[in-house]
Chains A and B, each alone.
Chain A
Amino acid sequence: MKITFAHMGNLYITVKALLEDLGAEVVVPPMPSKRTLSIGSRYSPEFACLPLKVNIGNYVEALELGADTIAMAGGVGPCRFGMYGEVQREILKALGYEFDMVIIEPPQGRIRHVLEQVGRLVGRNPMRKYVGAVRLAWAKMTAVDELEKAAQRARPFERRRGAATSALGSALKLVDEAAGISQVRRALEEGQEMLRSVQDPTPGASRRNPESPPRIGIVGEVYVVLEPFVNFEVERRLGEMGVLVERSIYIGDWVKEHVFKDFMRLRKSRRPYDLAKPYLCHFVGGHGVETVGHTVEYARRGFDGVIQLAPFTCMPEIVAQDVLPAVSRDLGIPVMTLVFDEHSSDTGVLTRLEAFVDLVERSRRRRRARDGTMG
Chain B
Amino acid sequence: MGEVVGIPRALLYYHYYPMWKAFFESLGGTVVTSGETTRAILDAGIKVTVDEACLPVKVFHGHVLALAGKCDYVFVPRLVSVERRAFICPKFMGLPDMIRCNCSDAPRIIDSCINLSRTTREYVRAVLATGRMFTRSTLRILAAHRRGRAALTRYGRCLESGMTPDEAMAFMGVAPLSDELAQRAVAAASSTSGVARGGGGAANVVIGLVGHPYIIYDSFVSMNVIRRLREMGATVITADMLPWAVTEREAARFPKRVFWTIGRRLLGAGFHFLRSGTVHGCLHMSAFACGPESLIGDILEREAVRHRDVPFATITVDEHTGEAGVLTRLEAFVDVVTRRRKQ
| Interface residues of A, Cβ cutoff 8 Å to B | 45-49, 74, 76-80, 82-83, 85-87, 90-91, 94, 279-286, 288, 310, 312-316, 318-323, 325-326, 337, 339
Give which listed residue, B52, B89, B256, B299, contacts A321 with CB less than 8 A. Answer: B52
Give the distance to chain A from B199, nearest Cβ to Cβ, in Å: 36
Q: Is B192 an interface residue (CB 8 A)?
A: no
One of B92-100, B136-144, B218-226, B333-341 contacting the partner? B92-100
> Is the CB–CB distance between A80 and B101 below 8 Å?
no
- Closest residue on chain A to residue B80 by CB atoms: A282
> Is the CB–CB distance between B97 and A280 below 8 Å?
yes
Give which listed residue, A74, A77, A91, A313, contacts B289 with CB less than 8 A. Answer: A313
> Is the CB–CB distance between A82 and B90 below 8 Å?
no
| Interface residues of B, Cβ cutoff 8 Å to A | 49-50, 52-54, 78, 80, 85-91, 93-94, 97-98, 101-102, 113, 254-256, 258-260, 288-295, 297-299, 302
A339 to B292 CA separation, bound complex (whole angstroms): 19
**Inside 8 A of B254's CB, which chain A residues have their CB?**
86
> Is the CB–CB distance between A323 and B260 below 8 Å?
no
**Inside 8 A of A45's CB, which chain B residues have their CB?**
294-295, 297-298
Q: With A47-B294, A78-B259, A321-B50 in contact, is A286–B302 under 8 Å at CB?
A: no
Give the distance to chain B from A236, nearest Cβ to Cβ, in Å: 26
> Is the CB–CB distance between A339 and B52 below 8 Å?
yes
**Inside 8 A of A288's CB, which chain B residues have their CB?**
90, 94
A310 to B90 CA separation, bound complex (whole angstroms): 15
Q: With A87-B298, A325-B101 in contact, is A79–B52 under 8 Å at CB?
A: no
- Closest residue on chain B to residue A87 by CB atoms: B295
Q: With A322-B102, A339-B52 in contact, is A282–B298 under 8 Å at CB?
A: no
A313 to B91 CA separation, bound complex (whole angstroms): 11
- Closest residue on chain A to residue B115 by CB atoms: A282
Listed by A's residue number, 22 A-B pairs whose Cβ atoms lie within 8 Å are A45-B295, A47-B297, A48-B294, A77-B260, A78-B88, A78-B259, A79-B90, A83-B256, A86-B254, A280-B97, A282-B80, A282-B113, A285-B90, A286-B90, A313-B289, A313-B291, A315-B291, A318-B90, A318-B91, A321-B52, A322-B53, A323-B101
A74 to B92 CA separation, bound complex (whole angstroms): 22
- Closest residue on chain A to residue B259 by CB atoms: A77
Give the distance to chain A from B93, nearest Cβ to Cβ, in Å: 5
